[in-house]
Structure 1
Amino acid sequence: MTTVKRWLPAITETPIRKTALGIAGLAVVGGAFAGPALSMTAPQAAMTPTAAAVSVRDVDKGQPSKVLDYQYKAQENGYYCAPAATRIALSTQGHTPAQDDVAKRLGTTEAGTNSAEDTTRVLNSTGGKDYRTVAIPDETAKPEQMDRLQVDVVHAIDAKRAVVMNIRGTAVDEAGTAHSYEGGHYLTVVGYDDHGRKVKIADPANPNQSEYWMSTITLANWAAERGYSA
């Protein structure tokens, strides 16, 4: 298979700063705990990215940009980032349930939401059956995982499916603003530009910084050791 050379920005990407996990493998966030990215009981075959799914060349032939219509609502408390991010994704398909309802279906507690497996399950139960959970198990995303995220975002957005990311650490957006979630966080990708090399994020944590653009390389590293629903 022909290797596709990964696009790189003119300026080196800001490294994603990861912190050590806290008590019992969980990281403190907003007074609660954010669960690990992936359940230890999940079938690994379903979680592991596969090179066969990646074709940057194909998405480069498609439309260069697309942004979905969505309804933004900030998370209602410090541990509702997954319900809020999932609700934003569902709103692109016309579903706007209460965050409490989404939280119940996700199994969210004051300890947070366990993993991207849960967001995938709830998205599929409401918005269709096309969402998959993709893991980025390494400490730093590999080039093929960056490519996979780019392709997954484009395919999902083109199909009117917003992508829910499970991230941790600090990342810098295209405007130079740092966003820090050392304990973990969920947010939603609602659009892309430059054939998916940049993504538009709807972040439920802060209404004053509810939207921003970020390179796919940065986002992939932000989701390292975790994963996403696409």
Structure 2
Amino acid sequence: MRLNKAAVAAAVAIALLAHPALALADTGDGRTDTKNVVSAADVAIEQQYQAWLRRTGGKTASAVQPTVIDAPYRYFWTPSHRQETNYYCGPATVQIIADYWGDCPSQDDIARFLGTDVNKATDFSLVDDALRYFTGRPYTYVTCTSLSDVYTRIAYGMQVRGNPEATDVRIDADVWPNYVYDHAGHIIPLEAFDWRSYTVRVNDPYDERYYRPGGGDTYGHKTYQRSVVGSGIMAHPRHAIVY
């Protein structure tokens, strides 16, 4: 007997509800009740950010009062890697960023480091630890206080710190182009921003078409309005970026 798409979608939804980890966030975003462990290096990086913020007002030195022409921007082009399970968005995000810096650990190796599994998915508060370990760069976890703070930190991480970033978002399919389904949490790399056009480009490891019946064309390099990405970050319980 052939099932129609509605029947298949209903069956998938029942399966997700029966599985607590996937019911929370079927792309692989896990616990949100843990806290990031703050090191002395994290404190020093935050002090550098606050000093930069006081000095520039959150703008680059060449664009203290930006117009559309001279607004700040920065573009990276990270290698695309599709997450290898429906709950591997965290390991895939770390793999994408690590591959950009010249090493490409397997998603399984990253998952072991993060403690990712089908029951717990990935704890985003550990992603900065994984990026430091696999890239050798001083990535840090920051909590954003507002939508404007999200925009400032996206720009700071790429333009001043010089890093592709990672973040944790809540996907509302009515707001996010390409997505057909809502996702309570999803870990993704941020690889470009351009305040001349108010856009952010992600390199999404999740292929909704593959994992969900009738899903959208979500995988790979996708450009969204910054309000879409920023609101997704602030809608997630963590409000966090790793840069």
TM-score normalised by L of structure 2 = 0.66
Question: Counterparts of 1:8-157 in structure 2 under 5 Å?
Answer: 28-30=24-26, 34-36=30-32, 39-40=34-35, 42=37, 52=50, 54=53, 55-58=57-60, 61=63, 64-110=72-118, 111-115=120-124, 117-136=125-144, 145-157=146-158
Displacement of 1:160 in angstroms is 4.0
Instruction: Report the Cα distance in structure 1 between the residues aligned to 2:62 and 2:193, rounded to whole angstroms.
Output: 12
Contact 1:33/1:112 (8 A) holds in 2: yes
Match of 1:184, SS? strand
Q: 1:101 to 1:192 in 2, by over 3 A?
A: same
Letter in 1 for 2:99: S
1:78-113 deviation digits (Å, cap 9, x = unpaired): 110000011111122112111111111111111201
Instruction: Report the Cα distance in structure 2 between the residues aligned to 1:32 and 1:69, rounded to whole angstroms.
Output: 23
Match of 2:224, SS? strand
> Higher relative contact order by CA 8 Å / sep ≥ 6: 1 or 2?
1
The residue number in structure 2 matching 1:211 is: 221
The residue number in structure 2 matching 1:193 is: 194
Residue 229 (1) aligns with residue 242 (2): yes
Match of 1:56, SS? coil
Q: 1:214 to 1:60 in 2, by over 3 A?
A: farther
Q: 1:202 to 1:31 in 2, by over 3 A?
A: closer
Q: 1:107 to 1:135 in 2, by over 3 A?
A: same
Q: Say which structure is richer in helix.
A: 2
RMSD: 3.6
- Which protein has the larger Cα radius of gyration, Structure 1 or Structure 2? 2
Contact 2:200/2:226 (8 A) holds in 1: yes
**Unmatched segments (≥5 aa) in structure 1:** 1-21, 137-141
Displacement of 1:164 in angstroms is 0.6
Match of 1:185, SS? strand
The residue number in structure 1 matching 2:170 is: 168
Contact 2:29/2:123 (8 A) holds in 1: no
Q: Number of matched residues?
A: 197
**Unmatched segments (≥5 aa) in structure 2:** 1-17, 64-69, 209-216
Letter in 2 for 1:211: H
Letter in 2 for 1:228: I
Match of 1:112, SS? coil
Displacement of 1:203 in angstroms is 0.7
Contact 2:97/2:164 (8 A) holds in 1: yes
Q: 1:147 to 1:131 in 2, by over 3 A?
A: farther
Q: Say which structure is richer in strand.
A: 1
